[in-house]
Amino acid sequence: MATKKPANPTLPPVTPRTPDGGDAVVLERRAQKIQPPQMYQVAMLNDDFTPMEFVVMVIQEFFGKDREAATQIMLKIHLDGKGVCGVYSRDVAATKVDQVLDAARQAGHPLQCVSEPIE
């Protein structure tokens, strides 16, 4: 009985390795599309009890407006029921609202201030 010599198994070809491992995959960098943050407008609401001069003073102090601009905003609040005092990021708008409400509360006025997202 003659037996055949078994065939040597074939091995996959050996690829030389580079010092850094050689089998690393490099991905292409893609530019990310970043949207600007959502902005919020800070608005004051009209009431029949808060003096106009106090509203002008609050707008000057917390929103950095000059007397003429603050007076124009106050008149818009008085005539339209609401007036925008400034546009800020969410955190800054929330801080401005808190500052205005605290000042009104300390002065004993029912002035209302809100922040609303801009679409």
**Rounded mean pLDDT for each run of 10 residues along the chain, 119 residues in total:** 68 61 74 91 97 97 97 97 97 98 97 95
pLDDT confidence of residue 7: 72
Please work out, in degrees rounded to the nearest 5, the angle formed at the alpha carbon of residue 21 by the alpha carbons of 26 and 11. 110
Predicted structure pTM score: 0.72
Q: In angstroms, rounded to a whole number, what is the distance separating the alpha carbons of residues 59 and 86?
A: 9
Contacts of 96 (CB under 8 A, 6+ apart): 42, 62, 63, 85, 86, 88, 113, 115
What pLDDT does residue 78 have?
A: 96
Q: Specify the residue for token string 């040597």.
A: 8
Note the pLDDT of residue 101: 98
**β-pairing verdict for 39-45 and 112-117:** antiparallel
Q: How far apart are CA 71 and CA 76, in angstroms?
A: 9
